[in-house]
Amino acid sequence: MSREHFMYLKRMRRGERLTVAARVILLVLLISLWEAAGRLGLADPFIVSSPLRVVKTTVSLYSSHDLFPHILTTFYETVVGFVSGTAIGVAAAVLLWFCPFLRRVLDPYLVVLNALPKIALGPILIVWVGAGPGAIIVMALLVSTVVTVMSVLAGFVEQGNERQQLMQTLGATRMQTFIKAVLPASVPTIMSALKISVGMSWVGVIVGEYLVSKRGLGYLIVYGGQVFKLDLVMASIVILCVLAAIMYYAVAAFEKRIDRRFGRE
C-alpha cells in the first residue's frame, strides 16, 4: 500500500469517526434541550413530555409486562409487510421490464395508486381481510409495494440502451441481457428502494394500527391521545424511532455487503 493511499484511508476513517461523534453530540444536545425546556418552564411538560418522563413511562410499561408485546406486534407486522412488499414490488418491476407494452398500459394506474392516500382504503381492507393483524399487514404491503415497483422499474428502464443493444447484437436473449447488464447495474437503485420501503412499511403499519389494532405501538399512540396520557404517546414515538433506525441500518449493512460483493467499495 502506497503512503498516499494509506493517508487517504486514514482521512476517510477520521472523517467517519467525526461524523459519528457529531451525530451523538447532536442527539445528546437535542435530548438535553428537550429536558431543559420542561424544567425551565419554556414548554409545558404535560404537552411535550420530557426525556425523563418518557423513560419513566417506558419502565412502567416494562414493569407491567406490556412493553414487549406491543413492540413485537408492531415489529412483526412491519417486517412481514416490508419483506412481502419488497418481494412483490421487485417481481412486478421485473415483469413490467420484460413486457414494455404492459408497462405503458399500467403506468398511469401506478401513478394514481402511488398518489392515493392509502388510509382511504382502510375501511375496505377491514371488511375484506378482517379487523386483525392481516388488515394491518396488507396496509403496509400496499404502501410499500407501489413505491418499490416504481423505484425499481425506473432503475431498470434508465439503464443505457447501448449496452443492451450491444448484447442483443452479440446474440444475447432478453433474459441474458437482464441478468448480465440490467440487474447488476440496477443494484444501487434496488438498495435505495429498500431503504424507502422500510420507512413506508412503518407508515403503513402505524396507519393500520390507528384504524383497527388492539395491540401495538400505534394502538398505544391512539390510546394515549384519547386519555391525554401524552407521556405514553411520546414514549411510543421514541420507541418507534429506535426500531425504525435499527431496521434502516440493517438494510444499510446489507447494502454494504452487496457493494463488496459487486466490488463497488
Tens digit of each residue's pLDDT (9 = 90 or more) over 55-85: 999 999 899 888 899 999 999 989 998 899 8
Nearest CA to 88 among 172, 153, 146? Answer: 146
Question: Where does 63-188 show beta strands of DSSP type E?
Answer: none
Shared domain for 29 and 53, answered yes or no, is no
Range of the domain at 17: 1-43
Q: Are 29 and 79 in a shared domain?
A: no
Question: Which CATH number does the domain housing residue 101 bear?
Answer: 1.10.3720.10
pLDDT at 159 over 90: no
Q: Are residues 27 and 148 in the same domain?
A: no
Give the integer Cα–Cα distance in Å for 93 and 240: 30
Looking at the fold, whether 140 and 162 belong to one and the same domain comes out as yes
Give CA–CA dist 163/168, Å, rounded: 9
Whether 264 shows a pLDDT value over 70: the answer reads: no
Residues 101 and 14 in one domain: no
Q: Decide: 144 and 206 in contact? Cβ < 8 Å.
A: no
pLDDT score, position 1? 60
Same domain for 53 and 171?
Answer: yes
pLDDT band at 162 (very low <50, low <70, confident <90, very high): low
- The label of the residue with cell 413490467 reads 96
3-class secondary-structure state, position 44: coil
pLDDT tens-digit profile of 105-117? 988 888 888 887 7
Domain match, 8 and 121 both: no
Type and span of the H or E element at 218: helix 217-226
22: Cβ contacts below 8 Å, ≥ 6 apart: none
**In this structure, are residues 219 and 70 in contact, taking their beta carbons and an 8 Å threshold?**
yes
Same domain, 198 and 73: yes
Whether 99 and 228 map to the same domain: the answer is yes
Judge contact between 76 and 70, C-beta under 8 A.
no
Are 94 and 12 part of one and the same domain?
no
Least confident of 77-81, 139-143, 180-184: 180-184
233: exposed, middle or buried (Cβ count in 10 Å: 0-12, 13-18, 19+)? buried
Q: How many CA atoms lie within 13 A of 184 on its CB side?
A: 12
Structure confidence at residue 238 (pLDDT): 92
Looking at the structure of the chain, the number of domains it has is 2
Q: Is the pLDDT of residue 2 over 60?
A: yes
Of 5-14, 160-169, 228-237, 247-256, the poorest mean pLDDT is in 160-169
Q: Label residues 92-108 b or e (16+ Cβ within 10 Å = b).
A: bbbebbeeeeebeebee
- Co-location of 181 and 254 in the same domain: yes
Does the pLDDT at position 196 exceed 80?
yes
Query: What's the whole-number mean pLDDT along residues 235-251?
Result: 90
| The predicted structure's pLDDT at residue 239 | 92
Shared-domain flag, residues 38 and 125: no
Query: Are 75 and 198 a contacting pair, CB within 8 Å?
Result: no
State yes or no: pLDDT of 123 exceeds 70: yes
